[in-house]
Amino acid sequence: MTSAPLRQEVEALRAQLNQHNYRYYVLDEPSIPDVEYDRLLRQLQTIEAQHPELISQDSPTQRVGAQPLTAFGEVTHDMRMLSLDNAFNDDEMRDFERRIKDRLKDTSELEFVCEPKLDGIAVSLLYENGIFVRGATRGDGQTGENITQNLRTVPSIPLTLMGTGWPERLEVRGEVYMPKAGFDAFNKQALANGEKPFVNPRNAAAGSLRQLDSKITASRPLQMCCYSVGIVDGGELPGKHSDVLQQLHRWGFRINDQMKVVQGINGCIDYYQDLQTRRDSLHYEIDGIVFKLNSLELQNKVGFVSRAPRWAIAYKFPAQEEITQLLGVEFQVGRTGAVTPVARLQPVFVGGVTVSNATLHNGDEIERLGVRCGDTVVVRRAGDVIPQVVQVVLEKRPENSTVIEFPSSCPVCGSDVIRAEGEAVARCTGGLYCAAQRKQAIKHFASRKAFDIEGLGDKLVDMLVDQQLINSIADLFHLQHEALSNLERMGDKSAQNLLDALQKSKQTTLARFIYALGIREVGEATAANLAHHFADLDALMQANEEQLLEVNDVGPIVASHIAHFFQQPHNQEIIEALLAEGIRWPSVDKKNVEAMPLAGQTWVLTGTLETLTRDQAKSRLVALGAKVSGSVSAKTHCVVAGASAGSKLTKAESLGIEVRDESALLQLLAQLEAS
């Protein structure tokens, strides 16, 4: 027999776990560290293991997944799950408003609720007496699949409702989706394991919910956000849609953080424009905005037409995926010799721009996609990410499609192309003999974060190398006015400006100099760390791998690239030649580095900053001695959180790490830079 105190203890543990779960997954405001949550969960698991009669379906221990199914059952939706009409421009939005006003025979201003249209899978969740009893997909709107077991594993779906006053039977509807960070991490892992990645976050959500083994679903980073109700029996809900959502939030559901009530169709259009500019900074993918009449009474009055309500509309954003034809593949050679296949496409409008090239990453990717020249392919351009070929439409493969051969010799210099063991990237072995690598090395040297040579653009570098006016970065400083001014589109004045810019660039910093050399895997931050650590170029050039490993952020791979670079005689010669040209930097005093105000501190930047770019914030922090890292850990000193900061902020808060907003950062920088 189970004793009453034990039952009470179980209830108390469940209530605590539900509360923490709500704070973590619904409010994004955890109040205890993860280890404490795990401890409570283990305590409950231990009791339940000893007293199986105490286990209930709504226990937080049941989120880990259940016995695999052989098939999903069917669920009939007592209330049809509708879909939405779409609008693609402002005129269609105005037509939508006019139709409602005509129907209501009333011209007064209407109130709308704006909600981002999440790109995931619609689900229905049924609660009886506050307990989650059944979850289903939308299916065809009438009949869906019973995916209760899978939905139980989604942490932002409450297994029991919080608070009081819920109807006896309540059907909550919403979208299950995979946030961008979880999607990227999942795909990265899948590729590393040699598994197939998901094409987009929507497919990832669908694929994860369609698992017969709910343990697989439990391992996927899914979220659920609710946007309406279906059946409501034995209870009342507020009379406005926005208030219904707020009520659902109090009962334990996640609602969209961007939801807003606006007046009239102009309010809707303003909201659409504002969110379109912020679309990329959201932590989830959206494909438009849903606008709904706020008054439920008016919703009832205007009613439905076939499968969609007349009181709601989805104003779609330009598509992020399109299909087009792969015309050919060009192999580009980068600064480090990496040979990258670039797809030449029939130009297509996607993600708001016309795309005619997309990356195919490497040979493995070509193989994985099984893509051939002539194929019809799906191209995706999300945010400011480089356009990618994500899928082949096999049904449309033409008879004359041709297999893509990865070159075994460099398309630019003819040297062997070799793929080192364990590496995905194939490289041209020509080094600086290869004009492509030379051009890239010079472009990198001239770039803004390196020598910042104004007027030395990519086209000019191509010309200078093609006409053999320069062969290495050091040659830049031997350029003559006459040769320059004779070049195409280079007058007297621009030639002189370039020579002045070259002269000016000779005064630099040690960090910029190191970065400009273009050593593999040595970015701006690592270059700054190397400069701080060694304070002297000779010391860096002489350092062995062991000594290099002592530098912040330098691991074994980077250390070996650095040591290898400085051992190469031709690199030593180029450095000597550069110094002979009079390149100088102010001396870096090692002691001063240690005395820098932020020395020894690790900072993390997250979210969107308004007045500074990430690069600017980073270089100002680094200049004060801080290390800037991409991930939050117990060693992080401070997190700077901009708009729409997501999981890093949550993690920082759960670890009790100091969090500053942008204005606090600016204040601190100004103060420290002045002293």
CA-wise closest residue to 476 among 524, 520, 512, 444: 444
Q: How far is the CB of 259 from ligand IVH (least distance, A)?
A: 8
Question: Is residue 83 involved in binding ligand IVH (CB under 6 A)?
Answer: yes
Q: How far is the CB of 76 from ligand IVH (least distance, A)?
A: 17
**What CA–CA distance (Å, rounded) separates 151 from 222?**
9
Question: Is residue 302 involved in binding ligand IVH (CB under 6 A)?
Answer: no
Helix (H, G, I), strand (E, B) or coil at 283: coil
User: Do 172 and 229 contact (CB within 8 A), yes or no?
Assistant: yes
Question: Is residue 309 involved in binding ligand IVH (CB under 6 A)?
Answer: yes
Piece in contact with ligand IVH (CB under 6 A), picked from 206-214, 267-275, 307-315, 621-629: 307-315
Q: Which is nearer to ligand IVH, 207 or 407 (CB)?
A: 207
Q: Which is nearer to ligand IVH, 11 or 140 (CB)?
A: 140
Question: Is residue 160 involved in binding ligand IVH (CB under 6 A)?
Answer: no
Q: Phi/psi at 128 (nearest 5 deg)? A: -115, 125
Q: Which of residues 333-392 bind ligand IVH (CB under 6 A)?
A: none
Q: Which is nearer to ligand IVH, 172 or 626 (CB)?
A: 172
Q: Which is nearer to ligand IVH, 118 or 348 (CB)?
A: 118
Strand positions, DSSP E, 62-179 = 74-76, 86-87, 111-118, 121-128, 131-137, 143-145, 169-177
By the 10 Å C-beta count (0-12 exposed, 13-18 middle, 19+ buried), 92 is classed as middle
Compute how many residues bind ligand IVH; rule: CB under 6 A. 15
Per-position b or e across 429-439, b if 16+ CB within 10 A of its CB: ebbbebbbbbb
Q: Which is nearer to ligand IVH, 243 or 454 (CB)?
A: 243
- Rounded to a whole number of angstroms, the distance between the first and last alpha carbons of the chain is 72
Among 37, 166, 183, 227, binds ligand IVH (CB under 6 A): 227
Question: Is residue 175 involved in binding ligand IVH (CB under 6 A)?
Answer: yes
**What CA–CA distance (Å, rounded) separates 448 from 194?**
37
Q: Which is nearer to ligand IVH, 93 or 435 (CB)?
A: 93
Piece in contact with ligand IVH (CB under 6 A), picked from 12-20, 216-224, 308-316, 416-424: 308-316
Q: How far is the CB of 386 from ligand IVH (least distance, A)?
A: 27
Question: Is residue 228 involved in binding ligand IVH (CB under 6 A)?
Answer: yes
What tokens does 568 get? 């190469």
User: Do 587 and 529 contact (CB within 8 A), yes or no?
Assistant: no
Question: Is residue 314 involved in binding ligand IVH (CB under 6 A)?
Answer: yes
Q: How far is the CB of 63 from ligand IVH (least distance, A)?
A: 23
**What CA–CA distance (Å, rounded) separates 437 from 431?**
7
Which residues make beta-bridge pairs with 291? 114, 313
CA-wise closest residue to 369 among 208, 191, 220: 191
Among 125, 290, 531, 548, binds ligand IVH (CB under 6 A): 290
Per DSSP, the chain holds a count of helices (H) and strands (E) of 25, 26
Question: Is residue 475 involved in binding ligand IVH (CB under 6 A)?
Answer: no
**What CA–CA distance (Å, rounded) separates 196 from 198?**
7
Q: How far is the CB of 117 from ligand IVH (least distance, A)?
A: 4
Q: Which is nearer to ligand IVH, 191 or 206 (CB)?
A: 206
What tokens does 328 get? 């050919």
Piece in contact with ligand IVH (CB under 6 A), picked from 29-37, 60-68, 81-89, 518-526: 81-89
Q: Which is nearer to ligand IVH, 117 or 532 (CB)?
A: 117
Q: Which is nearer to ligand IVH, 312 or 583 (CB)?
A: 312
Among 77, 138, 427, 533, binds ligand IVH (CB under 6 A): 138
Q: Which is nearer to ligand IVH, 174 or 252 (CB)?
A: 174
Helix (H, G, I), strand (E, B) or coil at 553: coil
Piece in contact with ligand IVH (CB under 6 A), picked from 77-85, 276-284, 600-608, 638-646: 77-85
Q: Which is nearer to ligand IVH, 312 or 657 (CB)?
A: 312
Among 312, 333, 519, 558, binds ligand IVH (CB under 6 A): 312
Q: How far is the CB of 257 from ligand IVH (least distance, A)?
A: 12
**What CA–CA distance (Å, rounded) separates 227 from 122?**
10
Q: How far is the CB of 226 from ligand IVH (least distance, A)?
A: 9
Q: How far is the CB of 28 from ligand IVH (least distance, A)?
A: 19
Site track for ligand IVH across 89-128, x = CB under 6 A:
--------------------------x-xx---x------
**Alpha-carbon dihedral sign for residues 16, 21, 26, 30:** positive
Question: Is residue 30 involved in binding ligand IVH (CB under 6 A)?
Answer: no
- Measured CA to CA in angstroms, residue 634 lies from 163, 611, 655 at distances of 35, 28, 7
Piece in contact with ligand IVH (CB under 6 A), picked from 78-86, 425-433, 443-451, 569-577: 78-86
What tokens does 286 get? 């959206």
Q: Is 117 a catalytic residue?
A: yes
The H-assigned helical ranges of 51-210 are: 90-104, 148-152, 180-192, 201-209
Q: How far is the CB of 279 from ligand IVH (least distance, A)?
A: 14
**Identified catalytic residue from 101, 105, 117, 493:** 117
**What CA–CA distance (Å, rounded) separates 17 from 110?**
42
User: Do 148 and 215 contact (CB within 8 A), yes or no?
Assistant: no
Piece in contact with ligand IVH (CB under 6 A), picked from 37-45, 79-87, 524-532, 630-638: 79-87
Neighbours of 71 (CB within 10 A): 8
HSE-up (13 A, CA, CB side) for residue 236? 3
Q: Are strands 131-137 and 143-145 parallel, antiparallel or unpaired?
A: unpaired
Binding site for ligand IVH (CB under 6 A): 82-84, 115, 117-118, 122, 138, 175, 227-228, 290, 309, 312, 314
The residues carrying an active-site annotation are 117
